[in-house]
Amino acid sequence: MGKLPETVNPTLDRQLARLRTRLAKTPLPGFFAWWGRELLACLPARWRAMLSERSESLLLGLDGDELVVWREKAGASTEYARIRRDQPVEAQDAEFRRLRAAIEDPQVRTVFCIPASRVLARVLSLPAAATDNLRQVLSFEMDRQTPFKADQVYFDSRVLGHDASGRNAQVELVLIPRAQLDQELGALPPAAAELDAVDSWSAAPGASRRQTNLLPPEKRTRRRDMRLPLNLGLAALAVVLLVVNMDESLANRTAALEAMQAEVEKAGNEAKQVAALRKTLADSISGANFLTDKKRKGPLTVALLDDLTRRLPEDTYLERLQIENKQVQLQGQANEAAKLIALLGASPCLGNPGFQGQVQPDARTGKERFQINADLKECSPQNEAKAPPKPEGAARKMLDAAAGDKQAAAAAAKSPGKDAPADSPAEPKKGDASAAPRKGAPAAGARADKHAAAAGAEKKK
């Protein structure tokens, strides 16, 4: 059970190496690098300086009797301190711990760097498919490409590039004998011996390193990087807050929509009430003005009676006058009923006069009984100017004499013991207000006396 991590970790490292190799072949790393540079260039200089600071690394190297410590930051290395190796191990360990504690980065890495002259580096041309499992391929090719076997050296590699066809890859192999490296690592203080990687300088010490790791995975220090769980937790929290925010936004929109619908419904009800009140008011005004409009628009009965009184001849009287639905019905007696159509046709209050039925003679009065129907027009007392003028001269005198005889006949009729004239006109029907005789129309006997008196007056003249 104790060797389980040694079996699992190399497998995991190989899988991660394959993933890194496949990712390096894609254009994504270049795109993200370009995108990051462009975004970083848009920020102020102070922010760029803060964001460009990456995690630091402590680089260790042996220089005679001293342990040299460099600080690597953003790819640049500067000498940090020197620890004398002739001091006690405890003093060396305490000094190194003090130097590492002075760095603010808690995840500072420790890398042991070997001079470039002490490692063997070769550039190999391998098939591009070999980069998926490069460490295993190099282990098989170690004795062919170098004078050592794979179990005699610590080695690592990096892909330099591919040829134009893309079928072959240029791989740099870097190795060092195990005995030499183990001897140097055993001389380090206990705190410094907790290494994350073993690399080599690409040129002079303190310049730059190859970015390889010769230290086997089982000897690397196990560090628990809290940034990954923290970032994952923050990402999960951001997702939860996003969901809560979206849900709250939807709830707010729903509440606002319901409130708006309630306001719209309330406004609609108020509008309906206003419309109902307006209709009620209009109906009330219309009902109140109905009779006034009816009276104003309808023809005046007084004007009609005045026009008929002026227009009908003296030998004509009405027994019945009926007005209904803008229709006028005239019933009465006249000496020559046919002339009445022309007289009534000139009336501004009547239109389209015509006989209803036949004109019948009345044996008792000796006149013609008629019934005329006509359309009612709008007229007023101002239309009196169109009525025929009153008779003048001899005709006027005849009317005055007839009026005197009429008064005498009326007084004789009222005296006791005397009968009324036999040729008096028939009485109008009861209950018919419009059946009263025309105002000023003489009775049959009075008209005869009127004519006799008129003839005597003419003879006297």
Query: In Å, what is the CA distance from 449 to each residue of 140, 193, 318, 430?
Result: 165, 165, 20, 28
Residue with the bigger pLDDT between 47 and 355: it is 355
Which pTM does this prediction carry?
0.45
Q: What is the pLDDT of residues 21-50, one digit of tens each?
A: 677 667 787 788 788 778 878 888 777 766
Whether residue 440 lies inside any domain: the answer is: no
Q: Last residue of some domain: 167, 196, 223?
A: 223
- Distance between CA atoms of 273 and 278, rounded to whole angstroms? 8
Cβ-contact 13, 7 below 8 angstroms: no
User: What is the pLDDT, as a whole number, of residue 201?
Assistant: 87
Mean pLDDT of the chain: 76
Task: DSSP for 81-128, please give it.
Answer: EEEETTS-HHHHHHHHHHHHHTSS-TT-EEEEEE-GGGSEEEEEEEEG
Whether residue 399 lies inside any domain: the answer is: no
Whether residue 418 lies inside any domain: the answer is: no
In this structure, the answer to whether residues 185 and 57 fall within a common structural domain is yes
Q: Tell me which amino acid residue 108 is.
A: V
- Residues above pLDDT 90, as percent of the chain: 13
Q: Are strands 168-177 and 120-127 parallel, antiparallel or unpaired?
A: antiparallel
Q: What are phi and psi of 109, to 5 degrees?
A: -95, 150
List the structure tokens of 436.
């009263």
- Residues above pLDDT 70, as percent of the chain: 74
In this structure, the answer to whether residues 174 and 128 fall within a common structural domain is yes
Q: Tell me which amino acid residue 156 is.
A: D
User: What is the pLDDT, as a whole number, of residue 298?
Assistant: 60
CATH number at residue 124: 3.30.420
List the structure tokens of 346.
């000139």
- Distance between CA atoms of 188 and 446, rounded to whole angstroms? 166
Whether residue 342 lies inside any domain: the answer is: yes
Cβ-contact 129, 91 below 8 angstroms: no
Task: DSSP for 303-335, please give it.
Answer: HHHHHHHHHS-TT-EEEEEEEETTEEEEEEEES
Q: 153: helix, coil or strand?
A: strand
| Residue 431 CA to its chain's centroid (Å) | 74
- Distance between CA atoms of 303 and 289, rounded to whole angstroms? 23
Length of the chain in residues, anyone?
A: 461
Q: What are phi and psi of 370, to 5 degrees?
A: -135, 160
Give 371's DSSP letter: E
Q: Last residue of some domain: 208, 223, 238?
A: 223
User: What is the pLDDT, as a whole number, of residue 103?
Assistant: 82
List the structure tokens of 154.
């610590």
Whether residue 391 lies inside any domain: the answer is: no
Whether residue 168 lies inside any domain: the answer is: yes
Residues forming a β-bridge with 361: 368
In this structure, the answer to whether residues 367 and 246 fall within a common structural domain is no
In this structure, the answer to whether residues 190 and 82 fall within a common structural domain is yes
List the structure tokens of 32.
């993200």
Residue with the bigger pLDDT between 170 and 29: it is 170
- Distance between CA atoms of 379 and 344, rounded to whole angstroms? 14
In this structure, the answer to whether residues 47 and 65 fall within a common structural domain is no
Question: E strands of 20-63, at which residues?
Answer: 57-63
Q: Is the pLDDT of residue 251 over 90?
A: yes
CATH number at residue 336: 3.30.70.2830
Residues forming a β-bridge with 161: 170
Whether residue 155 lies inside any domain: the answer is: yes
Lowest mean pLDDT among 27-36, 182-191, 258-267: 27-36
Residue with the bigger pLDDT between 390 and 92: it is 92
Q: 5: helix, coil or strand?
A: helix
In this structure, the answer to whether residues 192 and 70 fall within a common structural domain is yes
Q: Last residue of some domain: 171, 197, 223?
A: 223
Confidence band, pLDDT 50/70/90 cuts, at residue 137: confident
In this structure, the answer to whether residues 231 and 323 fall within a common structural domain is no
Lowest mean pLDDT among 86-95, 166-175, 350-359, 423-432: 423-432
Range of the domain at 185: 53-223
In this structure, the answer to whether residues 278 and 317 fall within a common structural domain is no
List the structure tokens of 184.
């140097």
52-56, 106-110, 282-286: range with highest mean pLDDT: 282-286
Q: What is the total count of domains within the chain?
A: 4
Residue with tokens 């009026």: 403
Cβ-contact 72, 108 below 8 angstroms: no
In this structure, the answer to whether residues 78 and 210 fall within a common structural domain is yes
In this structure, the answer to whether residues 69 and 165 fall within a common structural domain is yes
Whether residue 75 lies inside any domain: the answer is: yes
In this structure, the answer to whether residues 204 and 60 fall within a common structural domain is yes
In this structure, the answer to whether residues 340 and 199 fall within a common structural domain is no
* Residue whose C-alpha is closest to residue 111's, from 56, 64, 74: 56
Q: Is the pLDDT of residue 247 over 50?
A: yes
